[in-house]
């Protein structure tokens, strides 16, 4: 099952891993539609993804998500890589603001679920959905209980949706340390500590993470699975 002439929608496809997925699918002959909440990124996609369709979408807003898919129409594969790196990351329980904690789920979990809900009727037979979580689901850190719960919830959502939406395939990718813009916001000492202990001994590149999404779109006998692209972090 190839991607030649398949129509692929990538929400979060204007930067980072999502952009690498869109570029990789396009290189395999797919027709690409990308969605982003940032108007400048939507406009800039003409240079990074020549020939792709690009529309704004606010995954926090139900009407925006619904309107996006109504505009896109029928397609074959949905990839959701949108993420929100703002808000609290590591906070002791005693200092936890519950409203801020709830907001962590807004994009990656509830945004993904909105995308699935409003896209499924447009996905053609033989298509797929691929969501994204993160290694914090497998390797929690002190103060990251809410982030760990959010990422883990995505993995369980994937398994549940694989049954609810069958025979539509639903899978996920769990990236580790990947060289996207967020990497530059992490202190150098922390970056070095994160990568030197990995079995591969280095950070991953977006196109390496993208290979997992491309595989899951093509893999017609794979559903309910999460692929780790983590440089071996999950085994140390």
Residue-wise pLDDT for 16-29, tens only, equals 999 999 999 999 99
What is the DSSP pairing of strand 31-36 with strand 75-80?
A: unpaired
Which tens digit of pLDDT belongs to each residue from 221-234? 999 999 999 999 98
| Predicted TM-score (pTM) of this structure | 0.94
Count Cβ atoms below 10 Å from residue 167 Cβ, excluding itself: 10
Q: Is the peptide bond preceding residue 89 cis, with omega within 30 degrees of 0?
A: no
Rounded CA gap, 9 and 31, in Å?
9
**Mean pLDDT in residue range 124-148:** 92
**What is the per-residue pLDDT across 52-85, written as a single tens digit (0 to 9) for each?**
999 999 999 999 999 999 999 999 999 999 987 6
Q: How far apart are CA 75 and CA 123, in angstroms?
A: 5
Q: Two tokens at 97?
A: 């603001």
Res 92 pLDDT > 90: no
Q: How many CB atoms lie within 10 A of CB 166?
A: 11
What strands, in cross-sheet order, belong to the sheet with 31-36?
53-56, 31-36, 7-11, 75-80, 123-132, 169-175, 226-229
The encoded tokens of residue 13 equal: 């496809």
Residue 91, pLDDT score: 83
């Amino acid at each position: 099952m190839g991607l030649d002439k398949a129509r692929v929608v990538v929400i979060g496809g204007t930067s980072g891993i999502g952009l690498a997925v869109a570029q990789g699918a396009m290189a395999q002959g797919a027709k690409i539609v990308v969605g982003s909440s940032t108007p400048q990124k939507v406009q800039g996609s003409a240079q990074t993804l020549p020939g792709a369709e690009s529309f704004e979408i606010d995954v926090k807003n139900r009407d925006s998500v619904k309107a996006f898919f109504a505009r896109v129409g029928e397609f074959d594969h949905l990839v959701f890589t949108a993420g929100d790196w703002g808000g609290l990351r590591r906070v002791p329980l005693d200092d936890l603001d519950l409203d801020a904690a709830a907001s962590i789920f807004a994009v990656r979990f509830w945004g993904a679920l909105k995308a699935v809900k409003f896209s499924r009727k447009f996905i053609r037979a033989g298509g797929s959905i691929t969501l994204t979580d993160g290694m914090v689901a497998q390797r929690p850190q002190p103060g990251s209980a809410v982030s760990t719960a959010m990422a883990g919830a995505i993995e369980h959502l994937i398994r549940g949706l694989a049954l609810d939406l069958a025979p539509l395939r639903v899978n996920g990718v769990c990236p580790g340390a990947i060289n996207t813009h967020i990497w530059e916001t992490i202190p150098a000492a922390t970056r070095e500590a994160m990568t030197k202990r990995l079995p591969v001994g280095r950070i991953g590149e977006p196109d390496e993470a993208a290979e997992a999404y491309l595989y899951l779109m093509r893999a017609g006998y794979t559903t309910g699975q999460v692929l780790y692209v983590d440089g071996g972090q999950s085994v140390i």
